[in-house]
Amino acid sequence: MTADSDAPARLPSKGLAVLAYCLAFLGAMFVYFTLHPTGFWLGVTAAVPVLAMIWLAMVVIRLRRQLACIPSSANRAYLRRFLPLMALYMLIVGGEVWFEGRYTPTRPLAVVLAILPALPLIGIVWAFGRLLVEETDEYLRSLTVRQFMVATGFMLCVTSIWGFLDAFGQVPHVPMYWAFILWCMGLGVGTLYNEMRS
Amino acid sequence: MKNRLKVLRAERDWSQGDLAQRLAVSRQSVNAIETGKYDPSLPLAFRIADLFGLAIEEIFVNPARETQP
């Protein structure tokens, strides 16, 4: 039973999915800041990197499952939480874009509408936390922790640079929720980093 | 950390997958430990030692001793 004993030592490359995710994200940012899409096209602009991220997540989970002798139930639970929350987020954002195009909400409805899209994102943060808690394989957990640390570092670096450029009037002001998007993009960087180290 | 995991595994004709199953970890974990890219926690090291019926230091090389001349 040693035929596959030392076979694939590394994870098969998921570089294409990571590259697609990074390009989709940067492309969406470029479109958002240069073409200023509204309504339907704003939804499309936001959906492209989200779909790329979902694809990347699925590739990563599939590869891990392929190599893991005992399928990680934590990963399955994470996907079961992440995908509906992301779908809910997209539904809420799409609905609000549609709503704002027709009505001009005032307080307190405006506050409720503003907070609503953040709720599924907070749910996703909870899902990330549960992934760490429920992962019983300590090595896989260490990879996830490292991925999260890289993502956090990436987000802090980009927001620091952008914040000071903004303060000096060199770049447009960006809403704070972009920190979350940057962190998710940092997960892609973390995946690449893990792949280089493993 | 250097270790004799690969040799011990080969002696028993186990694949990485077999060992991973016996330890209830992923094959990635076994590979990372074997190649010294990941140092297992003490509980996992004890599980590995118990599985092979050896002491931990008979499987893992003490890094402090390794550096001594």
Q: Which ipTM score applies to this complex? A: 0.89
Question: pLDDT tens digit string along A91-140?
Answer: 998 888 888 878 888 888 889 888 999 999 999 999 999 999 999 999 99
CB pairs under 8 A between A and B: 69
Name the interface residues of A facing B (CB cutoff 8 Å).
Answer: 1-6, 9, 11, 64, 67-70, 72, 136-140, 142, 197-198
Distance CA A160, CA A166 (A): 10
Question: pLDDT tens digit string along A10-30?
Answer: 555 677 787 788 788 888 888
Question: pLDDT tens digit string along A41-69?
Answer: 888 888 898 888 888 778 877 776 666 54
Higher pLDDT, B54 or A3: B54
A118 with A177: CB under 8 angstroms?
yes
pTM: 0.73
pLDDT at B68: 54
Phi, psi of A170 (to 5 degrees): -95, -15
Averaged confidence pLDDT in chain A:
84
